[in-house]
Amino acid sequence: MDSAAEKIRLIAVLLMTTLAVVGCSKDMDDLDAYINQIKARPGGVIEPLPEIKPYEIFTYVADTDGLRSPFVPDTAQAAPGAVGSGTHPDPERSREFLEQYPLDAMRMVGTLEIGDVAYGLVQDPAGLIHRVVPGNYMGRNDGRIVSISESAIDLIEIISDGIGGYLERDAGIGLTD
């Protein structure tokens, strides 16, 4: 019986293969007609590329017509804190703990007065509370604390002016609720 069953399976496989091949060979006349229709269309005209203008070389001469060199800072128009004004960060000063955080990452959470000394209470991003007094430094821009009130800690920061010098600017941290 095995041979009869094998013959039936073989006939079934051959029949299925024949049907699959016949199913794939559909009429492709419509596809051929479409391709011939597209090929029959007239070709389009391709516009020429625009003409490329040659690059004009400019040689800069510094003293032409009294113009200043754009590569040297103009000391007459320099900002008040520019080179030579004396304002600059002290590279020899040892950094304080709160100088590792930007000012906007710290919060003033209160004040504390012990004797004649008024302390500001500052919370760092890790949640630790630090006591600060005028003269301490905090923030990443060499911010020196100049005053502490019940509502704010006022600082003076030293920032770059972008042309090799430094400027002082006022900054502060207000008491948060």
Q: Is residue 48 part of a domain?
A: no
Mean per-residue pLDDT of the chain: 85
Tell me the average pLDDT across 158-168.
88
Q: Is residue 106 part of a domain?
A: yes
Q: Which domain, by its residues, includes 118?
A: 64-85+95-174
Nearest to 123 by CA among 63, 175, 55: 175
Q: Is residue 135 part of a domain?
A: yes
Q: Is residue 75 part of a domain?
A: yes
Q: Is residue 141 part of a domain?
A: yes
Residue 69 maps to which CATH number? 2.30.30.830
Give residue for tokens 């299925």: 16
Sign of the CA dihedral with 8 first, then 11, 13, and 15 last: negative
Tally of structural domains, the chain: 1
Q: pLDDT for 103-115, tens place per residue? A: 999 999 999 999 9
Helices (H) and strands (E) in the chain, counts: 2, 7
Q: Is residue 90 part of a domain?
A: no
Residue 73 to residue 86: CA distance in whole angstroms:
17
